[in-house]
Chain A
Amino acid sequence: MKGMLAPIRKLKLTQILRTPHAVGVFGVYIGFIILLIISYIISPASRTLQDFINLLKQSSGLGMLAIGQTMVIMTGGIDLCLGSIVTLVHVLTIGLMNGDPSRILGVCLLGLAVGSLAGLFNGLGITKARIAPFVMTLCTDFILRGLYMIYTKGQPKGILAESFRNLGRYRIFGMVPLSVLFWIVLSALFIFILKKTVFGNRVHMIGANAVCSTLSGVKNDRIIIAVYTLAGLLAAFTSIVLTMDMSAVSLNLGADYSMDSISAAVVGGTMFAGGIGGVEGTVAGALIIRLITSLLQKANIANWGKLLIQSVLILSVVAANSRKKRT
């Protein structure tokens, strides 16, 4: 309960440190640093600034997507269709742009609209039709998958406009890619929204105790719909940012993102029970997941090792939390 109430008051640093969630967040960052040191010991070649920036770049997509997932999990739900939104928007963006620079803006806006609509659909199903979140989003996942397969007929086509790809190649100060900048800005924005705004408080409240929030006059349905729509919008934005870096169309772009974003949020200290967690932990969660992925890729067992490690990781984190809550 402390974790839920924490953002409502202004807290001194010492008080923040005493809340269970804050300790968890520091733990996650320490875990990331330990993991980073281990990876440096294993492969000395990666001890460069460039390599660290590469890690940031790889994590940026997941990081942005996981912001949405974090908010959804905080309301007590789960979103299993984010990966499909990423692929659908990716395929649409490239297919409709088809090398024409004048269409960039329109196509991007359309992509964002598609993502938000998918999220809105989830939100409406969960609140108005009272369908369990995982069933609803699993269904949406299948529907979206069907849609992009029908659109591409299994063989995606299209090329990116050169000016759009230049955005992906652009480096701020010759080093930092745009995607990392977007990630930092969005994370900061959503940490602020969740901690300091009325909307953020209500997200915490619904997850912690939905009945209580209804009784205090919060329109739960609206907040939940807004959260799922935001998750869809962020997934679409992530997809567009990821597309900037792609040289060709891929139907597998979003395949891992649903699972990865859940892992990032949960490892970052957001609890499935709802109400506890935040984007500040998810940032480190995304870094950890991507670091593990890159280590596994170096060992050449990424395709199955990742599934094993992530499933055990999520289970153990959730199991540890469940024990803590019960006592």
Chain B
Amino acid sequence: MKPFADTIKTFVRDLRNPKRHSSKIIWVLLVVLLIPIIIVIPEFVRPANIANVLIQMAPLGMVAIGQTYVILGGGIDLSVGSQISLISLIASTLMTDSPLNIIAVAALCLVCGVLFGALNGFILKLFPMPPIIVTLCTGYFFQGIAFALHKTSGGYIPVALKQVLTANSGFFSVPFGLYVLLFAIFAYVLYRTRFGRYVYALGGNADVLEKSGIRIDRIKIKTYMVSGLLCAIVGIYLAARLRSGSARYGDEYTLLSITATVVGGTSMAGGLGGLTGTFAGTILISMLTNVLNNIAFRYNLQSTYYKDIITGILLISAMYFYRNRK
């Protein structure tokens, strides 16, 4: 019993050590949660269901990558949900059946996403305002434009795009593949490039970064642009999946992406954490959502209502757990 207690103690001390950005605890939590889930709901581990969870986690995972960049840089992006909705509407308003048009509109959407992110960054550069206020307001702004674009029907998305973006066979599916690809790219950028180190430094100690001759505004704008780009990809994917756009598609992603990031061990103050933690956080949320859907289906309940509550409690407890860092 003694060595076990010691292990636990070292483990907890490791976690409390502000110099380490450990995402171990979240992986442990995942495994600990998985055991009762498998006992209560054996269907959870069926291959079809696992494949389903992987598809479901893709959009959230992509948004959370961007959110992690922004939070690591000491900011926060509350406008991701509205950006996704607006992009889905831009796509569904402009698309027609010709392949050239599909590609052009998709490219336009990606550019728009980057521009939305850049807008957030530029406002922050011009005025010394807290990022919460700025992104909350730009979020309402984007949602306003989305409502203006959202007339009676949700527009039109060609079948071909849906078929391409939702194709799947067995464990492999396009959305999850895309997520893994993007994750690999952005993890490489974050951990192995100079820009990635600057993002950490920006959240850790912006003053020092500025005094060593780096233009911190540019780094900050770039983090928001990353977030915007990923929102655009998710916006196109969601629009394609349901073959229409809506001013409400993105609503849940704001809180979910923050939750995935923070649960994964990234500090709200910035400079601490990383994408591996966010990956685990995304898995946790998708797993819980799937289990919740399963239970809700069994007892004939509405799962989305419970999902809101659970997300809220999850984020509060994660913040409470990490409160002593930094």
Q: Kindly provide the distance from the CB of B248 to the nearest chain A CB, expressed in whole angstroms.
A: 12
Contact across chains for B137 and A315 when beta carbons are under 8 A apart: yes
A310 CB contact (under 8 Å) in B129, B133, B140, B315:
B140
| Interface flag for A146 (CB, 8 Å) | yes
| Interface flag for B319 (CB, 8 Å) | yes
Contact across chains for A311 and B128 when beta carbons are under 8 A apart: no
Contact across chains for A150 and B140 when beta carbons are under 8 A apart: no
Residue in chain A with minimal CB distance to B132: A134
| Interface flag for B130 (CB, 8 Å) | yes
Q: What is the 8 Å Cβ interface bit string for chain B, positions 87-113, against chain A (1 contact, 0 not)?
A: 000000000000000000000000000
| Interface flag for B4 (CB, 8 Å) | no
Residue in chain B with minimal CB distance to A130: B323
| Interface flag for A326 (CB, 8 Å) | yes
* Tally of contact residues, A, Cβ under 8 A: 41
Contact across chains for A129 and B319 when beta carbons are under 8 A apart: yes
Which of A146, A306, A314, A323 has the most C-beta atoms of chain B within 10 angstroms of its own C-beta? A146
Q: Which residues of A contact B132 (CB under 8 A)?
A: 78, 134
Binds B, one of A19-27, A136-144, A167-175, A227-235: A136-144
| Interface flag for A211 (CB, 8 Å) | no
Contact across chains for A311 and B138 when beta carbons are under 8 A apart: yes
Report Cα–Cα, A326/B134, bound state, in Å.
17
Q: Which residues of B contact A326 (CB under 8 A)?
A: 128
Report Cα–Cα, A310/B302, bound state, in Å.
33
Contact across chains for B313 and A307 when beta carbons are under 8 A apart: no
Contact across chains for A143 and B308 when beta carbons are under 8 A apart: yes
Task: Give the number of residue pairs across the A-B interface with Cβ within 8 Å.
Answer: 115
Q: Kindly provide the distance from the CB of B203 to the nearest chain A CB, expressed in whole angstroms.
A: 14
* Tally of contact residues, B, Cβ under 8 A: 41
Residue in chain A with minimal CB distance to B144: A307
Contacts A146-B309, A149-B302 known; A322 to B127 CB distance under 8 Å? yes
| Interface flag for B148 (CB, 8 Å) | yes
Contact across chains for B140 and A307 when beta carbons are under 8 A apart: yes
Q: What is the 8 Å Cβ interface bit string for chain A, positions 112-152, against chain B (1 contact, 0 not)?
A: 00000000000001000111101110111111011101100
| Interface flag for A31 (CB, 8 Å) | no
Contacts A135-B258, A326-B128 known; A143 to B313 CB distance under 8 Å? yes
| Interface flag for B312 (CB, 8 Å) | yes
Contact across chains for A307 and B141 when beta carbons are under 8 A apart: yes
B306 CB contact (under 8 Å) in A132, A150, A154:
A150
| Interface flag for B186 (CB, 8 Å) | no
Contact across chains for A311 and B306 when beta carbons are under 8 A apart: no
| Interface flag for A303 (CB, 8 Å) | yes
Report Cα–Cα, A30/B157, bound state, in Å.
49
Contact across chains for B140 and A259 when beta carbons are under 8 A apart: yes
Report Cα–Cα, A305/B145, bound state, in Å.
8
Q: Kindly provide the distance from the CB of B160 to the nearest chain A CB, expressed in whole angstroms.
A: 31
Beyond contacts A139-B313, A307-B144, A322-B128: 8 other A-B pairs, Cβ-Cβ < 8 A, are A78-B132, A129-B320, A131-B320, A132-B319, A134-B136, A304-B147, A318-B127, A319-B123
Q: Could you give 26 example pairs across A and B, Cβ below 8 Å?
A: A131-B316, A131-B319, A139-B255, A139-B312, A139-B313, A142-B255, A143-B313, A146-B306, A146-B308, A149-B302, A149-B304, A149-B308, A259-B140, A301-B148, A304-B145, A307-B140, A307-B144, A308-B148, A311-B138, A311-B140, A311-B144, A314-B137, A315-B123, A315-B133, A315-B137, A323-B127
Q: Which 4 A-B pairs give the minimum distances between C-beta atoms?
A: A307-B144, A304-B147, A146-B309, A146-B308
